[in-house]
Amino acid sequence: MIVGVPREIFPGEQRVALVPAVVPGLAKAGLEVVLEAGAGTAAGYPDADYQARGAKVVPDRAEVFATADTIVQVLSHGSNDRTGQADLPLFRAGQILVGFLRPLGAIETIEDIAQRGVTSFSVELMPRTTRAQSMDALSSMGTICGYKAVVLAADTLPRIFPMLTTAAGTITPGRVLVVGAGVAGLQAIATARRLGAVTSAYDLRPAAKEQVQSLGARFVELPIEAQDAEDKGGYARAQDESFYQRQRELLGRVVAESDVVITAAVVPGKKSPVLVTREMVERMAPGSVVVDLAAERGGNCELTRAGEIVVEHGVTVIGWFNLASRVPYHASQMYARNVSAFLLHLVKDGKVRLNLNDEIIRDTLLTRGGEVVNARVREFFALPALAARPEGTES
């Protein structure tokens, strides 16, 4: 079985789907890797490193698609809403695709993939279970984003994070508030603490309190209670507008006291809730920073502009997205380990086995046989139920 790694074509994307270190493990399982020339260069992985580990490097993108049984990408058509469509003519019926596909984004892009006859697996749909931990690319990229958000904030803030006692007097520590204590938020908390900031965090899920406190941060408790705060996958559920209105009122004071606010409250498939209003930003001290990790989905801050940095009322609001691509070496390393673990789970004796009784395979399988087959996605888009297929293992 041949695994193809094309160069990423989303503007500014620097990651690569597989790194040289994972090639020998795939080869041992009977998988050959074919790479488009230069695919790993921007991430710090030259072609020669791939060749030294046993991968074949070819100069032509079309050759990668024509040769490979399975294509692995970081941003595939769906998550790549700028240039991803250019790859559609290169796919062929029966080919396998693994990558970020944004399955709860636009049904049209998913149907584009289905109509090519591609059997696609969306890494965003990976179940958050112990068995699937090594394959959880969404958590890996969230970890990178949480780290990078704090580094960006520290670089932008006209103050320093740690408390210093010097001959010129004592410098008070920076105050960081993290809103949303998922994977990205928890990494932001840990990074801010390592840099010496006094760190607080808020999350509507009660279970997050223990995780926040274990990292040495203060958990902000508000006298309101969310209904069904999280789904069975551990993700936050959307709340009604009256809840968010009360939440904003109570968070206002905490935001005003903070030098840095990092927002990471994302609800899968939904527009991000606005948690930091214009009025809250106006009450922050001049020079303060807001880093909005939910910018791509509309933003948690009312002043966020997706992909931009704006200064309002003396406060810098950073709305960059795809932050993981700004740390491409380690982001690619983590993603490659996740994807290679999934491939090794999917392939037995050099052949793909679609064991639909396995929740990892069943939950990530997005398109097959010209149809969108994922039950969660069909329910999300209110598509009619498919006729039942026989369950079990097939190649």
pLDDT at 306 over 90: yes
Q: Report DSSP state, residue 10.
A: S
Instruction: Report pLDDT for 242.
Output: 85
If asked whether residues 162 and 89 sit together in one domain, one would say no
pLDDT, tens digit (0-9, with 9 covering 90-100), for 116-131: 999 999 999 999 999 9
53: tokens are 């580990």
Summarize pLDDT for 65-87 with one digit per residue, the tens.
999 999 999 999 999 999 999 99
pLDDT at 389: 66
Tens-place pLDDT, residues 261-289: 999 998 888 899 999 999 999 999 999 99
Question: Among the three residues 272, 306, 321, which one is the final residue of a domain in this structure?
Answer: 321
Q: What is the mean pLDDT of the chain?
A: 94
Question: Does residue 93 sit in the same domain as residue 157?
Answer: no
The answer on 120 and 42 residing in a single domain is yes
pLDDT category of residue 325 using cuts at 50, 70 and 90: very high
Long-range pairs of 188-194 with CB within 8 A, sequence gap ≥ 24: 188/146, 188/147, 188/149, 188/150, 188/262, 188/264, 188/293, 189/146, 189/215, 189/217, 190/146, 190/215, 191/146, 191/147, 191/150, 191/151, 192/150, 192/161, 192/217, 192/260, 192/262, 193/217
Q: Over the stretch 193-218, which tens digit does the pLDDT of each residue have?
A: 999 999 999 998 888 999 999 999 99
pLDDT band at 233; cut points 50, 70, 90:
low
In this structure, the answer to whether residues 20 and 60 fall within a common structural domain is yes
Q: Classify residue 385: in a domain, yes or no.
A: no
Whole-number pLDDT of residue 393:
54
Verify that 227 and 365 share a domain, yes or no: no
Residue 364 lies in domain: 2-125+328-380
Supply the Cα-derived Rg of the chain in whole angstroms: 22
pLDDT of 234 strictly over 70: no
Please return the burial class of 140, using the count of CB atoms within 10 Å of its CB with bins 0-12, 13-18 and 19+.
buried
**How high is the pLDDT of residue 297?**
92
Q: Which residue has the higher pLDDT, 360 or 386?
A: 360
Query: What's the confidence (pLDDT) of residue 232?
Result: 65
Which tens digit of pLDDT belongs to each residue from 174-187?
A: 999 999 999 999 99
Q: Is residue 395 part of a domain?
A: no
The verdict on 187 and 315 lying in the same domain is yes
The mean pLDDT of 319-342, rounded to a whole number, is 98
Q: Does the pLDDT at position 161 exceed 70? A: yes
Cα separation, 174 vs 195, whole angstroms: 9
Burial of 44 (0-12, 13-18, 19+ CB in 10 A): middle
| pLDDT reading at 395 higher than 70 | no
At 292, the pLDDT band (50, 70, 90 cuts) reads very high
Would you say residue 237 has pLDDT above 90?
no
Q: Are residues 66 and 176 in the same domain?
A: no
For residues 315 and 289, the answer to whether their CB atoms sit within 8 Å is yes
On the question of pLDDT at 256 being above 60, the answer is yes
Would you say residue 308 lies in a domain?
yes
Q: How confident is the model at residue 245 (pLDDT cuts 50, 70, 90)?
A: confident
Tokens of 35: 């790479």
- List strand residue ranges (DSSP E) for the chain, in order: 2-5, 32-36, 56-58, 70-75, 96-100, 119-122, 164-166, 169-171, 175-179, 198-202, 218-219, 260-263, 289-292, 309-312, 315-318, 347-348, 351-352, 365-368, 371-372
**Tell me: the pLDDT tens digits for 22-45?**
999 999 999 999 999 999 999 999
The number of folded domains in the chain is 2
Q: What are phi and psi of 102, to 5 degrees?
A: 50, 65
273 lies in some domain: yes
Write down the pTM of the prediction.
0.94
- pLDDT of amino acid 3: 98
Whether residue 51 is contained in a domain is answered as yes
Residue 234 sits in a domain whose CATH number is 3.40.50.720
Domain membership of residue 282 (yes or no) is yes
Domain boundary among 321, 344, 360: 321
Q: Average the pLDDT over each of 38-42, 236-240, 292-296 and give the range with the smallest value.
A: 236-240
- What is the distance between the alpha carbons of residues 292 and 300, in angstroms, rounded to a whole number? 6
Give yes or no for residue 390 having a pLDDT over 90. Answer: no
Q: Do 71 and 162 share a domain, yes or no?
A: no
- Residues 275, 166: one domain? yes
How large is the average pLDDT for residues 91-114? Answer: 97
Residue 353 resides in a domain: yes
Tokens of 213: 């406190």
Identity (one letter) of the amino acid at 346?
L
Domain ends where: 321, 340, 355? 321
Whether residue 235 has pLDDT greater than 80: no
Q: Do 262 and 168 share a domain, yes or no?
A: yes
Asked whether residue 121 falls in the same domain as residue 176, the answer is no
pLDDT higher than 60, residue 394: no
State the pLDDT at residue 387: 78
For residue 386, tell me if it sits in a domain. Answer: no
Torsion, CA 46, CA 48, CA 49, CA 55, rounded to 10? 110
Pairing of strands 365-368, 309-312: unpaired
Share of the chain above pLDDT 90, in %: 86
Same domain? 167 vs 115: no
Residues labelled catalytic = 128, 133, 136, 139, 235
